[in-house]
Structure 1
Amino acid sequence: MATIFTTGEPQTITAMLAARDQRVAYQQQLTTTNPRATIAAIKLNIPGPIKNNAALRRLFLAGVQRFEAELSTYTVAADWNHPAGNERFLILTTDFATSKRLAVA
């Protein structure tokens, strides 16, 4: 595990802020086009400048797969694999409170 952060493209704060702005804009778009749905944005909070590499992608996908296995229905709106990190956006038919409980678990 100590070597998980030795490969990958180091990210600057500017790149991370741009990724956040992109995420917020996309979430707003999804909310506008799916007003009755719950939108789930899944990502990892990774310390340090390395935010993505093969090992982090596998970790991310394992967590996503575990969460998705708990859902009855969902639509994958987008799956981003970029240097600032992995993100997946889901459109859920499950109500917000249930979705939150599943995500926390």
Structure 2
Amino acid sequence: MTIKTIAAQPAEKKKLRVAAYCRVSTENDDQRDSLETQKAHFTAWIKMHSDWEFAGIFYGYLSQLKDNLKTAINLCNPQSAEALAERMRQLQQELLDRTEKG
């Protein structure tokens, strides 16, 4: 009887789909600058992770974003939606920390 060894094939790792969600409260000029900064930051952050798939960026003013957030989450699987929510909490804390330090 001959036993043939078959090498295991590495499992293909599926990329995590990640969408960015950015918002500001008003349409004031300083808020517009903040929105552009957020968009650039989140886009760069997502794209620097080779194991993440950029699913899109959703942004606007507070009054416009309820539907945009739903769309962003729906583009991602539940695991990605959790990653999105966690990262949003982290960035919010970082922003608060930086604001307090002045």
TM class by shorter chain equals: 0.3 to 0.5
TM-score, length of structure 2 as denominator length: 0.39
Structure number, greater radius of gyration: 2
More helix by share: 2
